[in-house]
Amino acid sequence: MTGGCATECERLAALGETLDDLPAARNWRASVQALSQAPDVETLSGERRLDVLTAELRRLFLGDAHRRADPFMKSPPHDGAPIGLGDHTVDFTYERNLSPHPLEARLASYRPAPDGWTGAHVAFRSGMAALACWLQCRARMVTPTSGQPLRLGMRGGYFETRVLLELLRGTGLVPEILESAEELERAVLDSAVDDVLVEPVIYDWELETLDLAALVAAWRGARVAPRALVIDTTLVGRSFPVDQMLARLRGRPPEVVVVVHSGLKLDQQGLELANVGLLSVYTPRDAPPASADEIGDLLRKMRTILGVSLSLDELVALDAPFVLDPAATEAYQHDVFRNNALLAHALTQCVGGIFAKVAHPSLGGDAARPWARAPFVIAHLAEDDLRAHGLLLAVLALEAADRDVPLVMGSSFGFRHNRAETIIPRLTQGRGLFKIAMGARSGPARAATIRMIANLAQLSDVDALRRAYPHAVPVTFPEATA
């Protein structure tokens, strides 16, 4: 039976097939083949070599993208030849007005319009750029006033989204953060919001899942249902059934549905080739106030004026065939979600020491929901202050080095390798989220990482951790003193 690292060798080789014409890629492939047959392939040392080969593959893709894009000026001559991307060509006069239509065509296949709906698909330089452009276009569509502002209810915890809503708050936009499922349902049922923005898994300390049945019931029972629904699927990938939700809203559909997510995290096989925000807008086929195509055109105009489209380098990098491949992406996301669920279930056996609680959608009564998934685990420290977080990070780094366990101290999620960090949403609170983001691989580092964190979690408290590791120098968070 093929082990986890040998399987990873096969997967990396498959990802790099389109680069075989490059001499450097042929050398890289030979290294992958050699590792797959090495006696120590299924060891922590073998997995560290996989990290090196993965980084080299990323550099090969980016180097090839630059080779193809670098001949083009940011403002190319009008008589210059367009660049070819698959079956498409891209021509532009300023890079700011570059149209990423090859990527948008793939997005249309990746996230087609549900039955009874039409769709338009728009790519941006980041997920936040996509959401910001949508909110500004939405204001243009409904022309709110101080007397009749656009009331937007958000059930979500993504810190940047909350900050964005506060920055846009004014006489025309009145956002409200709905801190519980009950608040969301009541706001919808009471017709207290015009638009709704939801995260199927709330990005906060609890990672609570959206109760779709309750939301649909409130929507159908409202005297005046919300006019727009925005779903941020960054954390859950392809697992949230947008088509099923819209089918259950048949008869009382919103005027417009937007599905938006950061395509950097779970859509690039963990290689992070380019930041990208992917937005799909759907409208009912039967005469909505504005069609999906009209809204898409408005979004593209906003994108051009603000300069938040992709650069040519980014667009070419995202021409990699696995980007927005539905089957490949879903399989990759499955591996990431599975590994994080394994960690979550292991750590729940260790609650009561350093950790007061472990949060992950696969735990508890909501686990049966198809979107009860997340690409990381949140562990609540019993002593939740930044000094305790700093000590834990330092000890974890020491343990990983002593045991030769590949573990990256870094942000984000959805990689092939494993990561850990403390997130500090608000400095004034003095609290952190200890986040472990397991990657997609199933090699020995997965079990070693889970075992290592579980062993630390069994210590009685932070003082016991400090006594066990007297030479650990806690990580400091300088921003916290500002």
- Tell me, yes or no, whether 36 and 175 share the same domain: no
Which amino acid belongs to residue 345? Answer: H
Same domain, 87 and 147: yes
Please indicate, yes or no, if residue 76 is contained in any of the structural domains: no
CATH number assigned to the domain comprising residue 400: 3.90.1150.10
477 belongs to a structural domain: no
Structure tokens at 244: 């099923």
Q: What are the φ/ψ torsions at residue 120 (nearest 5 degrees)? A: -135, 150
CATH at 174: 3.40.640.10
Q: Are residues 88 and 200 in the same domain?
A: yes
Question: Do 162 and 205 have their domain in common?
Answer: yes
The DSSP code sequence of 263-327 is TTTSSSTT------EEEEEEEESS--SS-HHHHHHHHHHHHHHHT-S--HHHHHHTTSTTTT-HH
Q: Which of 269, 293, 317 is the last residue of a domain?
A: 317
HEC secondary structure over 2-33: CCHHHHHHHHHHHHHHHHCCCHHHHHHHHHHH
Residues 371 and 444 in one domain: yes
186 conformational bin, left if phi > 0, alpha if psi -120 to 50, beta if neither: alpha
Residues near 189 by Cβ (< 8 Å), separated by ≥ 6? Answer: 218, 221, 222
Tell me what pLDDT residue 430 has: 76
Residue 77 placed within a domain: no
Task: Give the end of a domain, one of 317, 348, 371.
Answer: 317
Q: Which residues pair with 433 in a beta bridge?
A: 423
CA distance 175 to 193: 9
Residue 138's alpha-carbon distances to 123, 158, 171, 229, 402, in angstroms, are 17, 20, 14, 11, 53
Regarding beta strands 377-381 and 433-437, do their DSSP bridges make them parallel or antiparallel, or are they unpaired? antiparallel
Give residue 84's pLDDT.
77
Q: Which phi-psi region, left, alpha or beta, contains residue 21 (left: φ > 0; alpha: ψ -120 to 50)?
A: alpha
Q: How far apart are the first and last CA of the chain?
A: 54
218 and 287 together in one domain: yes
Contacts of residue 388, defined as CB under 8 A and 6 or more positions apart, other chains included, come to 381, 462
Q: 193 and 289 share a domain? A: yes
Q: Which residues contact 150 (CB under 8 A, 6 or more apart)?
A: 138, 139, 142, 144, 172, 173, 174, 194, 195
Range of the structural domain that residue 165 is part of: 83-317
Indicate whether 287 and 348 sit together in one domain: no
DSSP characters over 434-452: EEEE--S--SHHHHHHHHH
Residue 482 covered by a domain: no
Do β-strands 195-198 and 256-262 pair in parallel, antiparallel, or remain unpaired?
A: unpaired
Provide the token pair at 313: 């380098």
Distance CA 403, CA 398 (A): 9
Token pair in block for residue 251: 């008869």
Residue 45: Cβ-neighbour burial (10 angstroms; 0-12, 13-18, 19+): middle
Dist. CA 394–CA 386, nearest whole Å = 12
- In this structure, are 313 and 334 located in the same domain? no
Asked if residue 323 belongs to a domain, the reply is no
Q: Are residues 350 and 389 in the same domain?
A: yes
- Are residues 252 and 154 part of one domain? yes
CA pair distance 454, 475, nearest whole angstrom: 20
Take residue 402 and report the two structure tokens written for it: 């002593």
> For the segment 427-437, what is each residue's pLDDT rounded down to a tens digit?
667 788 999 99
Q: What is the rounded distance in angstroms from the CA atom of residue 232 to the CA atom of residue 258?
A: 8
Q: What torsion do the CA atoms of 321, 322, 328, 333 make, to the nearest 10 degrees?
A: -160
C-alpha span between 258 and 452 (Å, rounded): 41
Distance in angstroms (rounded) separating the CA atoms of residues 24 and 4: 26
310-338 pLDDT tens trace = 999 999 999 999 999 999 999 999 999 99
3-state secondary structure of 90: strand
Ordered per-residue pLDDT tens for the chain, 482 residues: 478 999 999 999 999 999 988 999 999 999 999 999 999 999 999 999 999 999 999 999 999 999 998 988 888 888 777 787 877 888 778 888 889 999 999 999 999 999 999 999 999 999 999 999 999 999 999 988 888 999 999 999 999 999 999 999 988 899 999 999 999 999 999 999 999 999 999 999 999 999 999 999 999 999 999 999 999 999 999 999 999 999 999 999 999 999 999 999 999 999 999 999 999 999 999 877 899 999 999 999 999 999 999 999 999 999 999 999 999 999 999 999 999 999 999 999 999 999 999 999 999 889 999 999 999 999 999 999 999 999 999 999 999 999 999 999 999 999 999 999 999 877 667 788 999 999 999 999 999 999 999 999 999 999 999 999 999 999 988 654 33
pLDDT at res. 116: 94
The two tokens of residue 192 are: 């207290």
Burial 102-120 (b: 16+ CB within 10 A, else e): bbbbbbbebbebbeebbbb
Residue 480 located in a structural domain:
no
Contact 477, 80 (CB under 8 A): no
- Residue 101 maps to a domain: yes
Non-local (6+) Cβ contacts of 182 within 8 A are: none
Element of type H or E holding 95 = none
| DSSP one-letter string for 322-365 | TTT-HHHHHHHHHHHHHHHHHHHHHHHTTTTSSEEEEE-TTSST
Residue where the block lists tokens 């508890």: 364
Q: What is the CA radius of gyration of the chain?
A: 24
Report the domain count for the chain: 3
Same-domain status, 167 and 281: yes
Residue 297 lies in a domain: yes
b/e map 375-403, b = 16+ CB within 10 Å = bbbbbbbeebebbbbbbbbbbbbebbeee
Which of 253, 282, 317 is a domain's end point? 317
